[in-house]
Chain A
Amino acid sequence: MTTTPPTEHAIAAAGLHKAYGDKKVLDGIDITVPTGTIFSLLGPNGAGKTTAVKILSTLISADAGSGTIRIGGHDIATHPQAVRAAIGVTGQFSAVDGLITGEENMLLMADLHHLSKAEGKRTAAELLERFDLTDAATKPAQTYSGGMKRRLDIAMTLVGNPGIIFLDEPTTGLDPRARHNMWGIIRELVSDGTTVFLTTQYLEEADELADRIAVLNDGKIAAEGTADELKRLIPGGHVRLRFTDPVAYQSATSTVREATRDDDSLTLQIPSDGSQRELRSILDWLDSAGIEADELTVHTPDLDDVFFALTGSTDVPNQRQENVR
């Protein structure tokens, strides 16, 4: 029902500032998202992702001193209602009414978008069907699983056909299958020409979905570009050797001098581009030196490395292991 006027940039924000007391949550970030693309704001918990979404979606105001924010061509400060008519928001915490049924939630959205009764019913039924919620339509939304709530949430966001959609951590807390379903849904959205602004703390997710990624850390954009551009920012991959016997580990460390040591986990990292030839030469050399690791993994650079390099974090979250190949 609502259409975004044709503009080059669906979202254009300059110098976003937001502080709560002494704490600077956003410290002058610029965001530009071309129409019809997926933009991902990637960052750890507390980086300011949700605050950015709240400001861009008119929920809270940016601090004085921020630059102009234009969403769908409308200035957010002077025409907030025009911005609201152009956007759809799915927040981090499900924005569904748990006390009423899924269908009633959908009809509520249809009424608020001023659809006629017949049109509202049709739209609700279509979207419930599309998001595989038809069977659960007459049950209260609070009885839904996490994945179902997110699907209902997005279905509600789509009722007004918004041209720009904000998804704040849409897959946090979902199991792997539900997460992959959600990715499919997001890809489908952009194929219709919708612009998607996505926040995530999962590097893999940004890599999978986003046309452009901005890494947000401590209220500042640490880097921005395509996934490949970001990966090029950091040095290449490595081969990781893991030992279970401390004695074997000690003898290996004295032989392999260029390796990075991790004494706690008994692992060595040897720089490598991951090519077959280089891998073979490393193996040959290990054999000749009589070093036998209990596990060998090849690690190519991924967004995790970018992320840790940029954010200076030394914590290794669980998901890093998943990406080690």
Chain B
Amino acid sequence: MSSISLAVRDSHTMLRRNLLHARRYPSLTLNLLFTPIMLLLLFVYVFGEAFSTGLGGGADRSDYIAYVVPGILLMTIGSTVVGTAVSICNDMTEGIIARFRTMSIHRGSVLIGHVVGSVLQSIMSIALVGAIGVAIGFRSTDASPAEWLAAFGLLVLFTTALTWIAVGMGLSSPNAEAAGNSAMPLVLLPMISSAFVPVDAMPGWFQPIAEYQPFSPAIETLRGLLLGTEIGNNGWITLAWVIALSALGYRWSKSLFNRDPK
């Protein structure tokens, strides 16, 4: 068997194992969904009236829904990958991983199975949170099929990048609590992005941080694709982030996994 088809076959086997885990024990994924959904409802129904004035031009709550939903969708990714960090850290403590390491299988398949499984779970989470967004009144204004496709592609790529980072965090953490903590920035970063208020409304010294951290360009790109706002060079910045984070996370995870286990 060639090494490519070996990699595909073994990764597929590992993916099925991870999906089986997720199906049997869905509580972790569902718990993580709680944060973005609560924030969505909180910001729309409690702060929405006040925050919408920040958007300018006599915006009201329905405008704020349109503004906040793309941010919440990307935040959902950040929350879901915390689960990835925790579950991969837990998995590494299992004896079965030692068994995999002594088997003549494609070595990367263990991680690839986790990453693909996690991306699929994130997509489902995004769909669920997106459905809630639609239920409370979010509508895309004029997105063409190509723009929908691009939006989907953006979400998948962004998820993949954050997932590889989360895998590295999970592998480098001694236990599940530490893994959860080290992945917390992925939940907190959207808070200091353009997800809830425009970057212009932030203090001047903070604006560059908020503007160029990974979440803001991705959120602005998604808004542009779904709502027809100005994307500018946010698309390229997002792409650069996605490539950089994926490559970094992949290499980091790989070297951590290839270390001698304790």
Question: A residues bordering B, Cβ < 8 Å?
Answer: 2, 57-61, 81-82, 84-85, 87, 89, 91, 93-100, 104, 108, 111-114, 140, 156-157, 160
Are A112 and B95 also in contact (CB < 8 A) when A60-B260, A100-B21 are?
Answer: no
- Bitwise interface map of B from 197 to 236 toward A, beta carbon under 8 Å scored 1, else 0: 0000000000000000000000000000000000000000
A59 pairs with B94, CB closer than 8 A: no
Q: Does B96 contact A (CB under 8 A)?
A: yes
Enumerate 22 A-B pairs (CB-CB under 8 Å) in ascending A order. A58-B102, A59-B98, A59-B102, A59-B260, A59-B261, A60-B260, A61-B260, A84-B103, A84-B105, A89-B99, A91-B99, A93-B95, A95-B99, A96-B95, A96-B96, A97-B96, A99-B20, A100-B17, A108-B13, A108-B17, A113-B103, A156-B99
B96: chain A residues at CB < 8 Å are 95-97
Interface centre among B9, B17, B20 (most CB of A within 10 A): B17
Q: Please give me the residue from chain B that is nearest to A61 by CB atom.
A: B260
Interface secondary structure of A, over-half rule: loop
Contact of A94 among B1, B13, B21, B95 (CB under 8 A): B95
Contact A98 B24 (CB under 8 A): no
B17 touching A84, Cβ below 8 Å: no
Asked whether B104 lies within 8 Å of A84 as measured between CB atoms, the reply is yes
Which of B13, B21, B25, B260 contacts A111, CB < 8 Å?
Answer: B13
B:85-107 near A, CB below 8 Å: 94-96, 98-105
- Whole-angstrom distance between the alpha carbons of A89 and B96 in the complex? 11
Closest to A87 in B: B102
User: Which residues of B, 1-38, contact A by the 8 Å Cβ criterion?
Assistant: 1, 9-10, 13, 16-17, 20-21, 24-25
- The answer on a CB contact under 8 Å between A84 and B21 is no
Are B98's CB and A95's CB within 8 A?
yes
Chain B proximity of A109: nearest CB distance (Å): 8
Interface of B is mostly: helix
| Residue on B nearest A81 in the bound complex, by CB | B104
Residue from A94, A97, A157 with most neighbouring chain B CB atoms (10 Å): A97
- List CB contacts (< 8 Å) of B52-110 with chain A: 94-96, 98-105
Q: List the A side residues contacting B95 at CB < 8 Å.
A: 91, 93-96
Considering the chains assembled together, what is the distance between the CA atoms of A61 and B21 in angstroms?
31
CA–CA, A59 and B101, complex, Å: 6
B104:A100 contact, CB within 8 angstroms = no
Inter-chain contact B13/A84, CB cutoff 8 Å:
no
> How far is A112 from B24 in the complex, measured between Cα atoms in Å?
21
- Whether A112 pairs with B103 at a CB distance below 8 angstroms is yes
- B97's nearest neighbour on chain A, judged by CB, is A95
A64 to chain B, nearest CB (A): 13
Q: Which of A59, A85, A108 contacts B104 (CB 8 A)?
A: A85
Given A100-B21, A111-B13, A114-B9, A89:B102 Cβ within 8 A: yes
Residues in A whose Cβ lies below 8 Å from that of B94: 95, 97-98
**Which residues of B have CB within 8 Å of A98?**
94
CA distance A99 to B22 in the complex (A): 10
Convert B241-262 into 0s and 1s, putting 1 for each residue whose CB lies closer than 8 angstroms to a CB of A.
0000000000000000000110
Closest 8 CB pairs of A and B: A95-B95, A95-B99, A85-B104, A84-B104, A60-B260, A111-B13, A89-B102, A97-B96
Bound Cα distance from A140 to B99, whole angstroms: 18
Interfacial chain A residues near B105, Cβ < 8 Å: 84, 112
Q: Which B residues lie within 8 Å of A82 (CB)?
A: 104
A58-B101, A81-B104 known; 17 other A-B pairs, CB under 8 Å? A85-B104, A87-B102, A89-B98, A89-B99, A93-B95, A95-B94, A95-B98, A97-B17, A98-B94, A100-B24, A112-B10, A112-B13, A112-B100, A112-B105, A113-B103, A140-B24, A156-B99
What is the bound-complex CA distance between A157 and B98, given in angstroms?
12
User: Measured between alpha carbons, how far is A228 from B96 in the docked complex, in Å?
Assistant: 37
Question: When the two chains form their complex, are residues B21 and A114 in contact, meaning their CB atoms are under 8 A apart?
Answer: no
Least Cβ–Cβ distance between A90 and chain B, in angstroms = 8
Q: Determine if B102 and A57 form an interchain contact, defined as CB atoms under 8 angstroms apart.
A: yes
- Closest residue on chain A to residue B12 by CB atoms: A111
Our pick among A61, A81, A89, A100 for the contact of B20 (Cβ within 8 Å) is A100
Residues on the B chain within 8 Å of A81, using CB: 104
Chain B min CB distance to A280 (Å): 55
Q: Are B104 and A2 in contact (CB under 8 A)?
A: yes
Residues of A within 8 A of B20 (CB): 99-100, 104
Within the complex, which residue of B24, B98, B260 is in contact with A99, where a contact is CB–CB below 8 Å?
B24
B256 CB, min distance to chain A CBs, angstroms = 15
Give chain B residues whose Cβ lies under 8 Å from the Cβ of A140: 24
